[in-house]
C-alpha cells in the first residue's frame, strides 16, 4: 500500500529545506543579537498547560490534538509555544536564579486541527521568543523590533505592523462589562461561537472571522484604557517611532489567544500571494500567565512567526533565491576507483564540498553531472594521472586547465579560489 502524508501535514523536500534552514539560521542569529537563549520543550504536555478554565480561543476549544494512553493522563500535542515555555520557566524556577528578564527563543513544530488551506497546516513551525519577568514599554518595543527587523533583513517589503492595547486587568474588566451590555441585546445576530464568547470573553467578538463585517461590530464601543495603560501604550509607540518602525494602531486587534494583556501586535502580509492567511507573525504581552501556571506574579511578552507563511511570502518576493553549488567534481575514467576516492576524501577533509561519479559512466555523462551540480572545479583522473601521481584540474570559471601534482592539489585549489573569489 502506498501512503500519503496526513491531511494538513507536508514534507519539507530538499529545496524547501534549504530555505527553511536559511530562515532558522537567520532567526538564531537574531536570538543572539537580542540576547535570547534557545529552549526546546516537549512536543506534548499535560493538557492543562494549554487549556485554562473558561478559555474561549478556537485553538483551545476546537483545535487541540488531545489524547490519553491507557486511560491515563490527558495529554496534548503542543498547539503553540508560549504555554510550554512558561511551564518550563516556572518548573525550573528560572524566575529565581536568573537575571530578569529571562529571554528564551524557540524553533518548534506546532499542531492544530484546523481546516487546511494555503498557509494553514495542521503541523507547522514557529520561530518564537518569550521575554519573561519584567514589564516595560521598552521591552515591548524591542520585541516588536526584533520580529520586524528579522523580516526586513530577509528583504521582505510587503508587510504591515498592526498594534493595539488590550489594557491592564482593570481596563479589560471594565471593557468586558461594557461589551456584554452592548452585545446582549444583539445576541441573536451573533454567530454560534460569539454567542459562547459573549460572557466569557466578549473582546474576541471584535475580531470574529464570521461576524467581522457586521454593523454591530463596527459600532461596538471602543476600549477605554486606564490612565496607566494609556501611558504605557504611548511609550511603546514612542519607542517604535524612535526605532523608525512604521505601524498602524488597529483597535479591533484582539488576537486569537486568551492570555493577552496590554500590548498586542501582528505583522501582516500585504502581498496577495499570502491569500487569507496573511498574518506572518503575532504576539503580545501576558500579565497573568506565569501566575496561572503556578509561578510568581510576573509579566512576559513574546511573538511567534509562522515559517510556512513566511516562506510563501519569501517565494512571492523572491528573496530566498539560493543556488546550490559544488566546489569540486571528480571525474574518474579508471576502472579502479581507489585513487579518485582517496582524493575525494582529501578534498572534503579540507572543507571543499565535493562529489564524484560512483558508476564509471562516460566522460560526457560525468561532465554533464558536474555541470548540473554547478561545480567550480572539475578534477579529471585518467590512466596517466594515476601513473604520474597528478590530477588534471579544470577551473570552470576561467575554463583554464592544468596538471597539478597530487600533493599540491589542495594548495592550488585554495590559491585559485582566492584569486577569483566569487
According to CB under 6 A, which one of 41, 56, 76, 82 is a site residue for ligand HAM?
A: 82
Give me the least distance between CB of 117 and ligand HAM, in Å please: 9
Count, residues near ligand HAM per rule CB under 6 A: 26
Q: Which is nearer to ligand HAM, 120 or 160 (CB)?
A: 120
Q: Is the dihedral of CA 165, 169, 174, 180 positive or negative?
A: positive
Q: Does 133 bind ligand HAM (CB under 6 A)?
A: no
Minimal distance, residue 214 CB to ligand HAM, in Å: 23
Query: Residue 21 CB, nearest distance to ligand HAM (Å)?
Result: 18
Kindly report the backbone phi and psi dihedral angles of residue 71, in degrees, each rounded to the nearest multiple of 5, phi listed first: 55, 25
Question: 303 or 377: whose CB is closer to ligand HAM?
Answer: 303
> Among candidates 85, 50, 49, 44, which has minimal Cα distance to 68?
44
Please pick, from the candidates 20, 78, 80, 329, the single residue that binds ligand HAM as defined by CB under 6 A.
Answer: 80
Nearer CB in complex with ligand HAM: 127/375? 127
Question: Which of 303/329 has CB closer to ligand HAM?
Answer: 303
Stretch in the footprint of ligand HAM (CB under 6 A) among 22-30, 92-100, 121-129, 187-195? 121-129
Shortest Å distance, C-beta 43 to ligand HAM? 15
Residue with cell 510576573: 298
Binding letters toward ligand HAM, positions 188-227, x by CB under 6 A: ----------------------------------------
Q: Which residue lies nearest ligand HAM, judged by its C-beta?
A: 306
Beta carbon nearer to ligand HAM, 50 or 352: 50
Which one of the spans 124-132, 159-167, 215-223, 398-406 is the region binding ligand HAM (CB under 6 A)?
124-132
Q: Using the rule CB under 6 A, give the single segment among 19-27, 119-127, 238-246, 341-349 that binds ligand HAM.
A: 119-127
- Residue 130 as a binder of ligand HAM (CB under 6 A): the answer is yes
What is the closest distance, in whole angstroms, from the C-beta atom of residue 83 to ligand HAM in the complex? Answer: 8
Least gap, CB of 59 to ligand HAM (angstroms)? 6
3-state secondary structure the chain: CCCCCCCCCCCCCHHHHHHHHHHHHHHHHHHHHCCCEECCCCCEEEHHHHCCCCCCCHHHHHCCCEECCCCCCCEEECCCCHHHHHHHHHHCCHHHHCCCCEEEEEEEEEECCCCCECCECCEEEEEEEEEECCCCHHHHHHHHHHHHHHHHHCCCCCEEEEEEECCCHHHHHHHHHHHHHHHHHHHHHCCHHHHHHHHHCHHHHHHCCCCCCCHHHHCCCCCCCCHHHHHHHHHHHHHHHHCCCCCEECCCCCCCCCCCEEEEEEEEECCHHHCCCCEEEEEEEECCHHHHCCCCCCCEEEEEEEHHHHHHHHHHHCCCCCCCCEEEEEEECCCCCHHHHHHHHHHHHCCCCEEECCCCCCHHHHHHHHHHCCEEEEEEECHHHHHHCEEEEEECCCCCEEEEEHHHHHHHHHHHHHHCCC
Name the minimum Å distance from CB 278 to ligand HAM: 9
Residues 275-314 that bind ligand HAM (CB under 6 A): 279-284, 302-304, 306, 308-309
256 contacts ligand HAM (rule: CB under 6 A): yes
Nearer to ligand HAM, 125 or 229 (CB): 125
Residues that bind ligand HAM (CB under 6 A): 80-82, 112, 114, 119-121, 124, 126, 128, 130, 256-257, 279-284, 302-304, 306, 308-309
Amino acid at each position: 500500500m502506498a501512503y500519503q502524508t496526513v491531511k494538513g501535514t507536508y514534507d519539507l523536500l530538499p529545496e524547501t529545506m534549504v530555505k527553511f534552514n536559511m530562515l532558522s539560521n537567520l532567526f538564531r542569529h537574531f536570538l543572539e543579537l537580542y540576547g535570547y537563549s534557545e529552549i526546546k520543550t516537549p512536543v506534548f504536555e499535560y493538557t492543562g498547560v494549554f487549556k485554562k478554565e473558561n478559555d474561549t480561543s478556537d485553538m483551545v476549544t476546537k483545535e487541540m490534538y488531545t489524547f490519553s494512553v491507557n486511560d491515563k493522563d490527558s495529554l496534548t500535542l503542543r498547539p503553540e509555544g508560549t504555554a510550554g515555555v512558561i511551564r518550563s520557566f516556572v518548573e525550573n524556577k528560572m524566575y529565581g536564579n536568573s537575571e530578569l528578564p529571562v529571554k528564551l527563543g524557540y524553533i518548534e513544530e506546532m499542531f492544530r486541527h484546523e481546516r487546511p488551506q494555503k498557509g494553514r497546516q495542521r503541523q507547522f513551525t514557529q520561530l518564537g521568543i518569550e521575554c519573561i519577568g519584567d514589564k516595560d514599554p521598552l521591552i515591548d518595543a524591542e520585541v516588536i523590533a526584533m520580529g520586524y527587523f528579522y523580516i526586513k533583513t530577509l528583504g521582505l517589503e510587503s508587510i504591515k505592523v498592526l498594534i493595539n492595547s488590550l489594557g491592564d486587568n482593570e481596563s479589560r474588566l471594565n471593557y468586558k462589562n461594557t461589551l456584554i451590555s452592548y452585545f446582549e441585546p444583539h445576541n441573536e445576530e451573533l454567530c454560534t461561537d460569539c454567542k459562547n464568547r459573549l460572557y466569557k470573553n466578549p473582546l474576541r467578538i471584535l475580531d470574529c472571522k464570521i461576524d467581522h463585517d457586521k454593523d454591530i461590530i463596527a459600532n461596538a464601543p471602543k476600549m477605554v484604557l486606564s490612565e496607566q495603560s494609556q501611558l504605557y501604550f504611548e511609550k511603546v509607540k514612542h519607542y517604535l517611532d524612535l526605532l523608525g518602525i512604521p505601524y498602524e494602531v488597529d483597535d479591533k486587534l484582539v488576537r486569537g489567544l486568551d492570555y493577552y494583556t496590554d500590548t498586542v501586535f501582528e505583522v501582516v502580509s500585504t502581498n496577495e500571494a499570502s491569500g487569507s492567511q496573511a498574518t506572518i507573525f503575532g504576539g503580545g504581552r501576558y500579565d497573568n500567565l506565569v501566575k496561572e501556571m503556578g509561578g510568581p506574579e510576573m509579566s512576559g511578552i513574546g511573538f511567534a512567526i509562522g515559517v510556512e507563511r513566511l516562506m510563501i511570502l519569501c517565494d512571492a518576493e523572491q528573496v530566498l533565491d539560493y543556488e546550490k553549488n559544488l566546489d569540486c567534481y571528480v571525474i574518474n575514467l579508471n576502472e579502479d576507483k581507489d585513487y579518485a576516492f582517496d582524493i575525494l576524501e582529501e578534498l572534503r577533509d579540507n572543507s571543499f564540498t565535493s562529489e564524484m561519479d560512483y558508476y564509471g559512466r562516460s566522460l560526457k555523462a560525468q561532465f554533464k553531472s558536474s555541470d548540473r551540480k554547478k561545480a567550480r572545479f572539475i578534477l579529471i583522473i585518467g590512466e596517466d594521472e594515476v601513473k604520474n601521481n597528478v590530477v588534471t584540474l579544470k577551473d570552470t570559471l576561467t575554463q583554464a586547465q592544468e596538471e597539478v601534482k597530487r600533493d599540491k592539489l589542495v594548495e592550488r585549489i585554495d590559491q585559485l579560489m582566492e584569486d577569483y573569489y566569487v
